[in-house]
A = this chain, B = another copy of it.
Amino acid sequence: MDSDYGIPRELSHLQKLRSLYQPQLPPCLEGTAVRVEFGDTTTSLDPTDAQTIARAFPHTFGKPLAHFFRPTAKVPAPQIITEHPAISIPLQYNCMFVLVILYVTGILLPLRLTGGTQGLFAQKTLEINDDILSTYKNQGGYDLLGRTQDQIRTTEQVQAALTACNDLKLDGLVIIGGVTSNTDAVQLAETFGEAKCPTKVVGVPVTLNGDLKNQFVEANVGFDTICKVNSQLISNVCTDALSAEKYYYFIRLMGRKASHVALECTLQSHPNMVILGEEVAASKLTLFDITKQICDAIQARAEQDKNHGVILLPEGLIETIPEVYALLKEIHSLLRQNVSADTISSQLSPWAYALFEFLPPFIRKQLLLRPESDDSAQLSQIETEKLLAHLVEDEINKRLKAGTYKGKKFNAICHFFGYQARGSLPSKFDCDYAYVLGHVCYHILAAGLNGYMATITNLKNPVNKWRCGAAPITAMMTVKRWSQNTNSLAIGKPAIHPATVDLKGKAYELLRQNATRFLLDDIYRNPGPLQFDGPGADAKVVTLCVEDQDYMGRIKKLQEYLDKVRTIVKPGCSQDVLKAALSVMASVTEVLSVMSSSSSGAQTL
Q: How far is the CA of A442 from the CA of B468 in the complex (A)?
A: 60
Contact B237 A419 (CB under 8 A): yes
Instruction: From A115, A147, A362, A420, name the one whose CB has the most chain B CB atoms within 10 angstroms.
Output: A420
Q: How far is the CA of A11 from the CA of B527 in the complex (A)?
A: 8
| A467 in contact (CB, < 8 A) | no
Contact B236 A423 (CB under 8 A): yes
Contact B527 A12 (CB under 8 A): yes
Contact B531 A235 (CB under 8 A): no
| A422 in contact (CB, < 8 A) | yes
Q: Contact flags (1/0) for A395-422 with B, using CB distance below 8 Å?
A: 0000000000000000001010101111
- Taking A413-B419, A425-B528 as contacts, is the C-beta distance between A147 and B535 under 8 angstroms? no
Contact A245 B526 (CB under 8 A): no
Q: Contact flags (1/0) for A526-541 with B, using CB distance below 8 Å?
A: 1111111111100100
Q: How far is the CA of A249 from the CA of B233 in the complex (A)?
A: 19
Interface stretch among A13-21, A477-485, A490-498, A581-589?
Answer: A13-21
Rounded to whole Å, the gap between the CB of A529 and the closest CB of chain B is: 4
| A232 in contact (CB, < 8 A) | yes
- Taking A7-B523, A423-B240, A424-B232 as contacts, is the C-beta distance between A533 and B530 under 8 angstroms? no
| A140 in contact (CB, < 8 A) | yes
| A569 in contact (CB, < 8 A) | no
Contact B243 A423 (CB under 8 A): yes
Instruction: From A244, A249, A417, A522, name the one whose CB has the most chain B CB atoms within 10 angstroms.
Output: A244
- Taking A244-B147, A523-B10 as contacts, is the C-beta distance between A528 and B15 under 8 angstroms? yes
Rounded to whole Å, the gap between the CB of A315 and the closest CB of chain B is: 14
Q: What is the copy number of this chain in the assembly?
A: 2
Contact A423 B148 (CB under 8 A): no
| A145 in contact (CB, < 8 A) | yes
Contact B249 A425 (CB under 8 A): no
- Taking A15-B528, A229-B529, A536-B17 as contacts, is the C-beta distance between A235 and B423 under 8 angstroms? yes
Contact A420 B423 (CB under 8 A): no
Contact B237 A420 (CB under 8 A): yes
Contact A528 B419 (CB under 8 A): no
Contact B527 A245 (CB under 8 A): no
Which residues of chain B are near A342, meaning CB under 8 Å? none
Quick one: closest B residue to A15, CB to CB? B526
Q: How far is the CA of A237 from the CA of B420 in the complex (A)?
A: 5
| A143 in contact (CB, < 8 A) | yes
Which residues of chain B are near A234, meaning CB under 8 Å? 420
- Interface positions, chain A 137-178, Cβ under 8 Å from B, are 139-140, 142-143, 145-148
| A9 in contact (CB, < 8 A) | yes
| A212 in contact (CB, < 8 A) | no
| A42 in contact (CB, < 8 A) | no
Contact A12 B525 (CB under 8 A): yes
Which residues of chain B are near A139, meaning CB under 8 Å? 526
Q: Contact flags (1/0) for A426-461 with B, using CB distance below 8 Å?
A: 000000000000000000000000000000000000
| A4 in contact (CB, < 8 A) | yes
Residue in B15, B147, B523, B529 whose CB lies within 8 Å of A530: B529
| A239 in contact (CB, < 8 A) | yes
Residue in B17, B249, B422, B539 whose CB lies within 8 Å of A13: B539
Rounded to whole Å, the gap between the CB of A548 and the closest CB of chain B is: 23
Which residues of chain B are near A4, meaning CB under 8 Å? 522
Residue in B9, B146, B233 whose CB lies within 8 Å of A243: B146
Q: How far is the CA of A535 from the CA of B527 in the complex (A)?
A: 20
Which residues of chain B are near A413, meaning CB under 8 Å? 419
Which residues of chain B are near A525, meaning CB under 8 Å? 10-12, 15
Q: How far is the CA of A20 from the CA of B46 in the complex (A)?
A: 53
Quick one: closest B residue to A16, CB to CB? B535
| A502 in contact (CB, < 8 A) | no
Contact A9 B523 (CB under 8 A): yes
| A238 in contact (CB, < 8 A) | yes
- Interface positions, chain A 72-119, Cβ under 8 Å from B, are 115-116
| A270 in contact (CB, < 8 A) | yes
- Interface positions, chain A 509-560, Cβ under 8 Å from B, are 521-536, 539
Quick one: closest B residue to A226, CB to CB? B236
Contact B424 A145 (CB under 8 A): no
Quick one: closest B residue to A361, CB to CB? B361
Contact B243 A236 (CB under 8 A): no
| A242 in contact (CB, < 8 A) | yes
Which residues of chain B are near A532, meaning CB under 8 Å? 528-529, 531, 534
Q: How far is the CA of A414 from the CA of B229 in the complex (A)?
A: 19
Which residues of chain B are near A533, meaning CB under 8 Å? 531, 533-535
Q: How far is the CA of A243 from the CA of B142 in the complex (A)?
A: 5
Which residues of chain B are near A236, meaning CB under 8 Å? 229, 419-424
Contact B528 A249 (CB under 8 A): no
Which 5 residue pairs of A and B lie closest in terms of their CB atoms, listed nearest first?
A239-B423, A533-B534, A236-B423, A143-B242, A14-B528
A interface, CB within 8 angstroms of B: 4, 7, 9-15, 17-18, 115-116, 139-140, 142-143, 145-148, 229, 232-240, 242-245, 249, 268, 270, 362, 413, 415, 417, 419-425, 521-536, 539
Enumerate 30 A-B pairs (CB-CB under 8 Å) in ascending A order. Answer: A7-B522, A9-B524, A10-B525, A12-B268, A12-B526, A12-B528, A14-B526, A14-B539, A115-B245, A116-B245, A143-B239, A143-B243, A145-B243, A146-B243, A146-B245, A147-B245, A234-B420, A236-B421, A237-B423, A240-B423, A243-B423, A249-B419, A362-B362, A425-B529, A528-B532, A529-B530, A529-B531, A529-B532, A531-B531, A532-B534
